[in-house]
């Protein structure tokens, strides 16, 4: 049994996701995404796929947003 970090649900089949050496526990993908998915620096869309990373560490949902933020050559 493990308690979901996002919603507190005590679930018998928890998801464990390790990122950068830290393990997080969730009861569902929904909660994992809510807690861990980055948001686009331009339009605030939650990025569930790969997204695009700018040089400054910012993350964008698509090439259009990256271009709007001035990131060159990633679209």
The footprint of Zn ion (CB under 5 A) covers: 4, 6-7, 9, 27, 31, 40, 42-43, 45, 61, 65
Going by C-alpha positions, the residue among 59, 27, 33 that lies closest to residue 48 is 33
CA gap 44, 39 in Å, rounded? 5
Tell me the H-state helices in 25-72.
29-36, 63-68
Nearer to Zn ion, 14 or 73 (CB): 14
Tell me the closest approach of the beta carbon of residue 14 to Zn ion, in angstroms. 9
Tell me the closest approach of the beta carbon of residue 4 to Zn ion, in angstroms. 3
CA gap 5, 30 in Å, rounded? 12
Tell me the closest approach of the beta carbon of residue 21 to Zn ion, in angstroms. 22
Nearer to Zn ion, 8 or 20 (CB): 8
Nearer to Zn ion, 22 or 38 (CB): 38
Tracing tokens 């998801």 back to the chain, one arrives at 15
């Amino acid at each position: 049994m493990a308690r979901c970090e996002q919603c507190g649900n005590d679930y018998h089949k928890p998801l464990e996701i390790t990122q950068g050496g830290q393990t997080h526990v969730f009861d569902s993908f929904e909660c994992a995404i809510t807690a861990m998915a980055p948001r686009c620096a331009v339009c605030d869309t939650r990025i569930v796929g790969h997204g695009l990373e700018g040089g400054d560490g910012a993350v964008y949902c698509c090439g259009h947003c990256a271009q709007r933020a001035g990131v060159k050559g990633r679209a």
